[in-house]
Chains A and B, each alone.
Chain A
Amino acid sequence: MNYLKIKKFSLRLRSVKYFLTLILPVSILIGYFFPTASAPLNTIGVSLIKLITFPAIPLVLSAVVISISSLFDFTVAKKSNNIFARKLILNLLGFIFFSAALGILVSLFIKPGILSPEGKLSIGKFMLDTTDIQVNIFNSESDSAVNSQFNFFQSLIPTNIISDAANSSTLRIITGSILTGLGLAAVPEEKAKPIISFLKSINTLSVKVLEELLVLSPLMLICLIAGAFSSISTELIITLVNLTLCVLVGSIGFLGLSKFLFRKFTSTEERKLLSTNPLDDIYMLAISTGSSMACYPTIVNTLKNIGRKDNEVEASASMSLLLARLGNIIYNVIVIIFALNLYDIRITSLILIQVLFMGILTGIATAGLTGVAVLPSIGVALTFFNLPIPPILLLIVAIDPIIDLLRSSITGVSSMALSTIVCKRELPT
């Protein structure tokens, strides 16, 4: 069996069907019949998580710079016909912030991660030794004494994008990337082109590395689920169902909102041209394929069929599907709040603002990624809140094949709604 065949087999194993019929039963059987192997399996699983999250920083850095630069370049460059561009950008930003806010509202209402004592005991037992922080105080350098009042603002100021990346300074990487993206959008195209090309190469390389590492993801799933089997209780399963419910509510909420917006921004004549409700089609397509990009032809064809401008439809559909990643933004927000609840961190208004921005930025950073590949970006957000990554990823990785479908459906239907709002009707010639 050569590597390509293994890779193909691994890809198949990452589907919901194989997860439910093969990975889950095999993991449970291993966990049940070899309980003594749970500790080494856990260690292997956590090591594989660390390995898979390794390309996260260059991925986030390059994705944020490219996204910001292309977003703002679009507004600047197309000033001549800037009505569409401005409308697209504003709506895109509006949808992004709305999706993050919806994620927060749903999480505050359903409260994922708030556990009963039994559930806490179950997770706590799994986390023993794993989340300890080991430090060497005489061999480290501290750049300044801490002034906790201004610490957050200090941590926003990037020092040097390379050293910030090397130090895993999450917030500085993101603010540095935004500034770099804005700068790139402002410089002449010929000067920006080589840098954007270089960043795209880094992004492609990171995605490629991640893709290759994800060959190991079925093994990681088996190790983690089997390793955790002895310590995971019914309470924990209920918690994960709670988390899934949040994303499901977000998904159904977005479907309802998108249907409303589609109805509001299309005329009766336009709707008469359609035999079925396109939002339902897109929702089902995304749910069944797990890919929001699979919705692209349906979105474009539907809007073209009702007479919207071809170029605008293509631009808005691709921009919203590729860059906005609303499903991932909602999901990341929900997972961050899940983790904060799990760790009993009091959710203040400042924390909520931080969650909003971290959810948006890490969600945007997942452009071009699907399935478990989006999870490293959540790790970046968790690092920002100083929450241990492996236990959270272990919990969410187990339900990710199901959640992935819901994420895709949110991105798909919101793209359709956004394109309907911003794309004008083609004038008769």
Chain B
Amino acid sequence: MRLFLRYLLIFVLAFFPLSGEVKASSELDAPQIDYINKIKERGFLKVGLPPYVTPPFYYPDEKTGKMAGYDIDLVTGFANKLGVEVEFDRDSKDFNDTVFRAGKGDFDLAIGKLSTTYKRMSDTHPHEYMNFRQALLVNRRFVASIDRGLSEDILGQDLLNSKMKVGIIGGSSWESYANQFMPSAQKIGYKDWPAVKKALFETNEIDAIYRDATEIKKIIYQEPNLSIKYVPILFNDVKDVISIFLPTDANIAMSDVLDFYLRDYGIKGDAEIMEELSDFYNPIS
């Protein structure tokens, strides 16, 4: 009997601490820690970037050839908080494909001035970090042809209801926005932003181009003479919400950490960004 009790004691001493460890281990196995651990084990954060060059948000540095810019700094800072490096994947076809691939889990997150749309939200989980007024850069001739001398708000409505030819980046959120806000307009998608600008300024195929205020204002800041022929129209109450997109697993694991990190940055509007990145937006002297 004593022998039995001794063995029982040994068994209890041996297995009770072990069952405590089993409990602790199952807590560590929670998906959040597990996902972050995987990133840590891998040693880098896989980040999807659209296949474009969009200074000052993401562009290859002239000297190093490495990606640089506001979005790059933001995501690199986040990776540093996790204690890992960043690796960029720029093989997506366009903006939509970048978000779609993030949803499939090809990356831990996707960034790169990516707009938030309902369609994208069905694939991935957005975390807002900027919002910019939507804007048009319109040929003044076209504006003059539809203006009725009423208020600017009415002019804005008339423009959106008109049959103007508006250029957008194909496969971007601007296609959805254009369909939503400009039902009668002739929407023409181009392969990238330089092609959109060329269609307005060089080949005169279109009446207007559509994107956010930072891109529209940047054009006339860099070439002020264009403001004689073209007028920026800024929609104060229609914002382009820019987010970081996470796949479901990553969102479960990292949303708290990411939101905590983004809280330090704050959600910035176009005016703040243009002021903060004044090297890019200052008018040429």
Contact = CB atoms under 8 A, between A and B. Distances in A.
Given A168-B150, A169-B149, A386-B143, A128 B162 contact: no
Given A137-B153, A344-B141, A345-B140, A148 B163 contact: yes
Interface stretch (A11-19, A45-53, A116-124): A116-124
Chain B interface category by residue count: 35 or more
Contact of A133 (B221, B233, B238): B233
A384 B150 CA distance: 9
Given A137-B237, A151-B146, A168-B149, A146 B158 contact: yes
Interface string B220-248: 11011111110111111110000000000
Interface of A: 117, 120-121, 123-125, 127-128, 131-143, 145-146, 148, 151, 154-155, 167-172, 342-346, 383-388
A137 B238 contact: yes
Interface string B37-77: 00000000000000000000000000000000000000000
Interface in B87-122: none
Contact of B228 (A124, A140, A145): A124
A141 B158 CA distance: 10
B227 A137 contact: no
A137 B160 contact: yes
B218 to A, nearest CB: 12
A140 B151 contact: yes
A385 B184 contact: no
Given A169-B150, A345-B144, A124 B224 contact: yes
Contact of B234 (A133, A171, A343, A386): A133
Contacts of B229: 343-344
B224 A121 contact: yes
A135 B155 contact: yes
26 contacts: A117-B225, A124-B223, A128-B227, A132-B232, A133-B143, A133-B155, A134-B233, A135-B236, A136-B235, A136-B237, A137-B156, A137-B235, A137-B238, A140-B153, A140-B154, A142-B154, A142-B157, A142-B158, A154-B148, A167-B154, A342-B228, A344-B141, A385-B144, A386-B143, A386-B144, A386-B147
Given A135-B234, A136-B236, A168 B151 contact: yes
Contacts of A385: 144
Given A127-B227, A135-B235, A146 B146 contact: yes
B283 interface: yes
B148 A120 contact: no
A146 B236 contact: no
A148 B184 CA distance: 12
Interface string B181-215: 10010000000000000000000000000000000
Contacts of A138: 237-238
Contacts of A172: 149
Contacts of B26: none
Contacts of A167: 149-151, 154
Q: Please give me the 7 A-B residue pairs with the lowest Cβ-Cβ distance, nearest first.
A: A135-B156, A140-B153, A124-B224, A142-B157, A386-B147, A120-B225, A124-B225
B80 interface: no
